[in-house]
Amino acid sequence: MDILPNIHIHEETHVNNNGMDEEFDDLDESLDDDLYTELDDDRRAELNEMLGLTVLGIELWDESLGDEEDAEPVQPEDRVFFDCDLYLEDNLALELYVAAVYPDPDKDPITGLDAIFDVVGRLADDKLALIDYGEADEEGGIALAFGKGDDVKLVVVASAWMISEWEPDEEEAGN
């Protein structure tokens, strides 16, 4: 299945500091060494194991690693890039950094924190699964397609990511 080859990240929205005019000089320098920024054989093997897993929950942050410390804070209505944790079946989590969400890969990403919360929330609300992935662009990053079967409902593009394990709450484990 090759769902992502036609995804084009618009130049004006690619890692552009959440709508601020200045471009990042080098995002890789600001990211933690433990974060992945390129798909290699090991990352592909990890992600292949996650294909088909449903999103069970989400934790979305109102700030992003991509926000510059010495710049004016990004206004919620101007936010494009965000960080989040996606909790998947099998107690696996995708931690996404400097991410943008595209309900339609042919259009611009969602803008505004409230709209981002609503759209990203559909991953868990609609019980969407990770159905494909690929490199975001020639500079790295990752594009993740979520949907049901072969039907892509949302694409999340992140400049960096981690894969971790999570433990269910005691209340949930007792059910």
Q: Are 37 and 96 in contact (CB under 8 A)?
A: no
Q: Is the pLDDT of residue 44 over 90?
A: yes
> Pick from 173, 90, 105, 106: which is nearest to 144 by CA?
105
Residue with tokens 């494909």: 132
Question: Model pTM greater than 0.75?
Answer: yes
pLDDT at 172: 54
Neighbours of 111 (CB within 10 A): 15
Per-residue pLDDT reduced to its tens digit, 80-112: 999 999 999 999 999 999 999 999 888 999 999
Q: Which amino acid is at 16?
A: N
Extract the tokens encoding 173: 């484990």
The rounded distance, in Å, linking the Cα atoms of 78 and 45 is 36
The rounded distance, in Å, linking the Cα atoms of 61 and 108 is 21
In this prediction, residues 42-55 reach a mean pLDDT of 97
Per-residue pLDDT reduced to its tens digit, 109-138: 999 999 999 999 999 999 999 999 999 988
Domain ranges in the chain are 11-168
The rounded distance, in Å, linking the Cα atoms of 49 and 55 is 14
Least confident piece of the model among 22-26, 42-46, 135-139: 22-26
